[in-house]
Structure 1
């Protein structure tokens, strides 16, 4: 059981023994520090998850004596907070990928537009060349028809039909001009045909480039759409985690109100038990003092009698008296360890020691008032020394609990408590060292199977290791 204190870590023994309860719990859950990946750790999500899981396991140990509802709500909150950095990183990466994909898509679209423009220009040029060829062919055909109609343009015919030298010369000049024009048309037609062939090849290449650019643009568009979808999903996941965190924070806050009431009741019970044990301790110490005084008086009287008997003449010889004296102890046998108390169990491991610590939920210093033994539920728990069971039963904070008064040992009064038991076996009467008083469990304010073992020295909590 963790006892809360208002003060920071104690500086002396008296401060350590002061048992306080702070009524403050979580004032603002917004100040709760999230579980985060270790600085400089690998960005691999699986490695981050392992690190967060290790932190959560440590947190479970720290909350072993916290009410399970509050502890589970807080662990769920911290788990969600631990996932937020990874979700944010995934969103950032997805948005960056979407931006790159959109840029690539824009470039591909521009390349497609250029390719299509080049193809259109080549088509126009080819169409113009084809028209030019058609026109040249028309001219050539016209010349051929004219020649056919006029039965040829032979120089002899021209000369024979000329009526004068001047007419002859004019007709010869006309024939030359016509032939030049016909030759030019033929050359132009041949050139246009060659250009048409080259343009057709160029257009085929441009069409192949356009098709390639089109496929690239389609792939870029699909990649951009997929990247945007991934970024949208990452954003939705992050928003869902944020909403989940808000709900869990509200649950922690609600549980903290109930925990406040539980802790207040636990403090009242702790004060009551401390008063009972202190009263028993005071009475036991008084009785021990009276017994010690009586023993001292009896020894003094025995010594005086022995001295008087020595002075008598008949004092020679044995007196037949007994020199034995009571040690006044009631240890009921020595423990196997070095101290007057034995460990309540040798199974499992020590999950938490006695001492001050900062509570991970309430962010205040608390005294962990005992020693925790973690072992499977049902593990037998044994009395640490002979004594009397003064209380046993269920307590809201401590769960099933047994309290054993061991009387005065070594000049101090010792009491031990066994808490969070699954079941109580010894409900009253005297017990010997090693008597099974109950079985380890997780009742009361507990977040897992463990025994919270406490030692009172004259009614005040002390570190059990002082007597083990």
Structure 2
């Protein structure tokens, strides 16, 4: 059980300690705090926090279960925040890359479609040019047919003058030149048309590839944005959960402070009772020792007188004192399980206040029999707040000091009152009162003050 060494200032120190840890916990509720972690590896940081939580479970055995669970839940959530923050960073970076890729793909698709439209326009123009050239050639052929040819013989026979003949011969040359030009133009246009059709086919393939790429990058960008949104929502949920858990820890800490004050008052009360019993037991022991010494002195005086007045020797009848005690050590209250915490000053993991852990903790399964450490009288057996079910045994004066033992957090009390022998079952290990797990908190009082149980075990 946690004890403050100075009861007059314990409450103030506890309040300050709780305020400090709550302030620290609330300060860590912002995602920005997780972002500024000194450990660059979130996984390594989480493993470190998990290890600390395992240690906390041991350190918080003597803490109220509600507070211990709330505090561990808060630490667990804080341990998840760096990983969630890193996941959000990765998701946002992936979304940014995907959006950039999508923008580039969209530009490539736009260029490909523009080139395709341009090629279609050029092919249409070439097709029109071919159509026009074919019209000219057809018109020329029709004219020749109608005029039944331009043979030079016909020209000669129908010409009436030499000048008319020369003009007709020149006209025939011009017409033939125009016909040749039309044919060349038509052949060139057809070649261009074939090339443009091939180019258009290739551009259509490029456009289709660009379209598929744009669709793929758009889907990737959409997924990346969805992942980033999910990561952000997860981080926000953790931050909200941490805020709620910090509030719970704060509320439980205030209740814990009240319980600790009550336990301190109970400890003070029991200490006063035990000191009074110790003083009375020591007073009686001194009276018994003085009476024994006087009896021994009187017996010695009578023996000396008899020796001086009697000339005969007679066997001496010696006396053996039965008033002494064995002075043997205390027996462990249980041999099951393990020692989870020793007596001594401890830094409480929740409120960061140094307190005296006033006994020895034996961690074993709930229901384990707990036995009296020495013969004595049960002076208390009841539920005592943070101590849970408790049995107090007065062992009287042993080796010149008055010893009392207490057995706390019992699942059930078996011995309610009366004398007990060493090894008598006084109760069963449990987790009642200010406890977060099955264990026995075993205390030893020497003349009404706490001492390390190992001194007498």
- The normalised TM-score by structure 2 is 0.90
Which whole-Å CA distance do the structure 2 matches of 1:450 and 1:398 have between them?
12
Distance 1:322 1:137, change over 3 A: same
* Residue equivalent to 1:384: 373
**Superposition deviation, residue 173 in structure 1:** 2.1
Q: 1:414 aligns with which of 395, 399, 403?
A: 403
CA shift digits 1:346-392 (9 cap, x unpaired): 11111112121222221211111111111111110011111111111
* Residue equivalent to 1:328: 324
Contact 1:23 1:264 (8 Å CA) reproduced: no
Which whole-Å CA distance do the structure 2 matches of 1:146 and 1:227 have between them?
72
Which whole-Å CA distance do the structure 2 matches of 1:307 and 1:169 have between them?
192
Which whole-Å CA distance do the structure 1 matches of 2:394 and 2:163 have between them?
158
Contact 1:355 1:369 (8 Å CA) reproduced: yes
* Residue equivalent to 1:105: 102
Which whole-Å CA distance do the structure 2 matches of 1:314 and 1:125 have between them?
160
Equivalence map 1:177-256=2 (5 Å): 177-256=174-253
Distance 1:4 1:167, change over 3 A: farther
For the pair 1:58 / 2:55, whether they are aligned, the reply is yes
CA shift digits 1:48-79 (9 cap, x unpaired): 66654443232122111112222222222222
For the pair 1:425 / 2:421, whether they are aligned, the reply is no
* Residue equivalent to 2:23: 30
Distance 1:305 1:41, change over 3 A: farther
Query: How many residues get paired?
Result: 448
Q: Counterpart of 1:64 in 2: which secondary structure?
A: coil
Contact 1:34 1:82 (8 Å CA) reproduced: no
Q: Counterpart of 1:186 in 2: which secondary structure?
A: helix
Q: Counterpart of 2:175 in 1: which secondary structure?
A: helix
Distance 1:383 1:153, change over 3 A: same
**Superposition deviation, residue 296 in structure 1:** 4.2
**Superposition deviation, residue 297 in structure 1:** 4.4
For the pair 1:128 / 2:125, whether they are aligned, the reply is yes
Which whole-Å CA distance do the structure 2 matches of 1:179 and 1:433 have between them?
140
For the pair 1:95 / 2:95, whether they are aligned, the reply is no
Distance 1:200 1:6, change over 3 A: farther
Q: Counterpart of 1:381 in 2: which secondary structure?
A: strand
Which whole-Å CA distance do the structure 1 matches of 2:250 and 2:5 have between them?
20
**Superposition deviation, residue 438 in structure 1:** 0.1
* Residue equivalent to 2:336: 347
Which whole-Å CA distance do the structure 2 matches of 1:109 and 1:181 have between them?
49
Q: Counterpart of 2:436 in 1: which secondary structure?
A: coil
Contact 2:346 2:354 (8 Å CA) reproduced: yes
Q: Counterpart of 1:407 in 2: which secondary structure?
A: strand
Q: 1:290 aligns with which of 287, 290, 301?
A: 287
Distance 1:221 1:247, change over 3 A: same
* Residue equivalent to 1:462: 451
For the pair 1:394 / 2:383, whether they are aligned, the reply is yes
Which whole-Å CA distance do the structure 1 matches of 2:131 and 2:297 have between them?
151
**Superposition deviation, residue 302 in structure 1:** 5.1
Contact 2:42 2:82 (8 Å CA) reproduced: no
Contact 1:6 1:365 (8 Å CA) reproduced: no
Which whole-Å CA distance do the structure 1 matches of 2:129 and 2:313 have between them?
163
- The normalised TM-score by structure 1 is 0.88
Which whole-Å CA distance do the structure 2 matches of 1:375 and 1:449 have between them?
6
Moved more, 321-330 or 240-249: 321-330
Q: 2:155 aligns with which of 138, 155, 158?
A: 158
* Residue equivalent to 2:427: 438
Unaligned runs of 5+ in 2: none
Which whole-Å CA distance do the structure 1 matches of 2:361 and 2:28 have between them?
27
Unaligned runs of 5+ in 1: 8-17, 335-339
Which whole-Å CA distance do the structure 2 matches of 1:180 and 1:229 have between them?
71
**Superposition deviation, residue 167 in structure 1:** 2.7
